[in-house]
A and B are shown apart, each in its own frame.
Chain A
Amino acid sequence: EAGVAQSPRYKIIEKRQSVAFWCNPISGHATLYWYQQILGQGPKLLIQFQNNGVVDDSQLPKDRFSAERLKGVDSTLKIQPAKLEDSAVYLCASSFRSGVGELFFGEGSRLTVL
C-alpha cells in the first residue's frame, strides 16, 4: 500500500515570496491533516479536512496561509507572503476518518525562509 506522498521535500525562499506544498494521502482515507513542525517541537495542527470540507482551521494563519483539498483527494498548502518564522517542516497526514485510528504521515516538506 502506497503511503502519504508529499512534494517538494525541500524548499528555500526569500521572505515575502510564496510557496506551495502538495500532498497525496493514502487511498481511501477521508481525513487529511496539515501540521507544522518547528525544529525541536512537536507537530502543530494547521488544518484538517474531512473529504473536501474543512473540519478545523483554527490555528491556520489565514492572512498568509491557505489550503484546499479538491475532489476530496490531493491537497495543497500555500504560504504567501512567507515570513522568517514560517521556517519549519510541513507534514501531511491522513486517516481513514476523523477520530478513528492512527494518523499516517508523509516524509514532510522542509521550508527555509531567508
Chain B
Amino acid sequence: EDQVTQSPEALRLQEGESSSLNCSYTVSGLRGLFWYRQDPGKGPEFLFTLYSAGEEKEKERLKATLTKKESFLHITAPKPEDSATYLCAVWDNYGQNFVFGPGTRLSVLP
C-alpha cells in the first residue's frame, strides 16, 4: 500500500530563518511527487511536480528536491506570507492512486 509521511508535523520559524520540510514515501514505483500549499479555508494550491531522483524545482523562496525515498521542500529566508500547510502527494506507477501525506503546518513569525 502506498504511504506518504511528512515531518515535522508543525514548524515555527522567525522571518528570514531558512529550513526544510521532509516528505517520505513508499510506493510501487513513483510516477510523480507533488507539493501543494494549503491556506486555512482554501483548497490545496499546486506548487511543484518532481518525476525522478535528482530533480530540483524552484519558485521564489521555495526549492523542492527528490531522492529515491524522499523529497525536501527547502524554504530560504521565509516571510510571514509563507505561513501555510504544505502537503506532498504521490502518483504511483499505475497512475491510479494520488495519495497525500498529512502535511506540515508552517508558521513564520515577523
Residues of A within 8 A of B (CB): 4, 33, 35, 40-45, 48, 55-56, 91, 93, 98-108, 110
Given contacts A33-B98, A103-B34, A103-B98, 19 further A-B contacts (CB under 8 A): A35-B100, A42-B4, A42-B87, A42-B103, A100-B95, A102-B46, A102-B49, A103-B44, A103-B46, A103-B89, A104-B46, A105-B45, A106-B43, A107-B41, A107-B42, A107-B43, A108-B41, A108-B43, A110-B41
24 contacts between A and B (CB under 8 A): A35-B100, A40-B102, A41-B103, A42-B4, A42-B6, A42-B89, A42-B100, A42-B102, A45-B97, A45-B99, A55-B96, A56-B96, A91-B43, A98-B96, A99-B94, A99-B95, A99-B96, A102-B46, A102-B49, A103-B34, A103-B89, A105-B45, A108-B41, A108-B42
Tell me, in angstroms, the Cα distance from A105 to B87 when the chains sit together.
Answer: 13
Tell me, in angstroms, the Cα distance from A44 to B99 when the chains sit together.
Answer: 7
Tell me, in angstroms, the Cα distance from A56 to B95 when the chains sit together.
Answer: 12
Could you tell me which residues of chain B, from 1 to 31, have a CB within 8 Å of some CB in chain A?
4, 6, 31
A102-B49, A105-B43, A105-B45 are contacts. A42–B101 as well, Cβ < 8 Å? yes
Top 9 nearest A-B pairs by Cβ distance? A99-B95, A105-B43, A42-B100, A42-B102, A102-B46, A43-B100, A105-B44, A108-B43, A107-B43
Residue ID in chain B nearest A3 by CB atoms: B43
Tell me, in angstroms, the Cα distance from A40 to B9 when the chains sit together.
Answer: 9
Count of inter-chain pairs, beta carbons less than 8 A: 58
Residues of B within 8 A of A (CB): 4, 6, 31, 34, 36, 41-46, 49, 87, 89, 91, 94-103
